[in-house]
Amino acid sequence: MELSHRAMVDVHQADYCSLHVRESNVVASHLYRKTLAYDEDDVEVAYYADGEDAHKLIKWFTEKREKPAKDEDKKAEAAPALPSTDTKPEAKKKGGNAKGHGKGKGKGKGKRRR
């Protein structure tokens, strides 16, 4: 796991790693908190489908210890989308995709002739 942490920093320039652990998962909680030095960042009430809470744990790789922005904060800070510069009109053929190929239900979904 420590090699994974090092790779997160070296390859992705990560400042931290965060994860969620079920409240009932005592073994995982002990591993992350005691062995790998993760800190509790938050408790997500009813995080799992069965209603169990999750503990959000975080391990900082840098000295910068600002709490990461929540999803709502990130959306508010995001810059407005720029208009598309694509001037090529899409082909419209009944029952086909832009290139004129069949209905395109995906790879391996149809019957194959032999």
Number of domains in the chain: 1
Is residue 102 one of the residues assigned to a domain?
no
Q: Which residue has the tokens 């790693």?
A: 17
Q: Residue 37 CB: number of other CB atoms within 10 A? A: 11
User: pLDDT-based confidence at 93, cuts 50/70/90?
Assistant: very low
Q: Which of 37-41, 78-82, 83-87, 110-114 has the lowest mean pLDDT?
A: 110-114
- Entry pTM: 0.54
β-pairing, 39-44 vs 16-22, is: unpaired
Is residue 83 one of the residues assigned to a domain?
no
Q: How far is CA 22 from CA 36, 50, 62, 77, 96, in A?
A: 17, 11, 26, 30, 46
**DSSP state at residue 102:** S
d(CA 94, CA 48): 43
Which residue segment(s) compose the domain that 47 sits in?
A: 2-65
